[in-house]
Chains A and B, each alone.
Chain A
Amino acid sequence: EVQLVESGGGVVQPGGSLRLSCAASGFTFEDYAMHWVRQAPGKGLEWVSLISGDGGGTFYGDSMKGRFTISRDNRKDSLYLQMNSLRPEDTALYYCVRGGVVITTTFGHWGQGALVSVSS
């Protein structure tokens, strides 16, 4: 069974940094592209970032470029999101999501999310 468990969420001041982690199990992690998708309270879904299975390709949503960095450790079956220069509008539930073997494949499996709150 595919399992994705996020951790690292919390409260941070504007301008601060936070690192999210996602522990994956139940599948061959290195074979799959992985994503972060976020959802602000009471709002819709917003794609944050994508990383290819070998980690060689990374892509970001426009409002995240230059502030967020996605990475993975295939030896540890783990996905990460380093978030810097955080803004109040980054407050959201951040989901770790499994993509596909092809990086443009849609979002097949979702974690339960890690809550990030940016507030002074």
Chain B
Amino acid sequence: AQSVTQLDSHVSVSEGTPVLLRCNYSSSYSPSLFWYVQHPNKGLQLLLKYTSAATLVKGINGFEAEFKKSETSFHLTKPSAHMSDAAEYFCVVSAEGGGSNYKLTFGKGTLLTVNP
């Protein structure tokens, strides 16, 4: 079985400051991990994915995440927040390390607020 814990339900930053959204995972197998973003009244958009290649993964809009097996973490970062980054972010693990073609298990989400 697999699970995801997002350590913060709400993160608030000022525009231009760094963003850190924390995620720990649990998986019986080598996991595939993802970060998705959900803007209000819009569908989920994939930011980035880790599938056992490079441990530092670069995504869209300047986001990146680092897979740390020893810490079972997959934290999402961005050097400088933009107002348009305000949204709900979900850390996701796939079943059995099978990529996103398999069942996805979502965390409860982290709401990112960006203050001017």
**Do A and B associate with each other?**
no
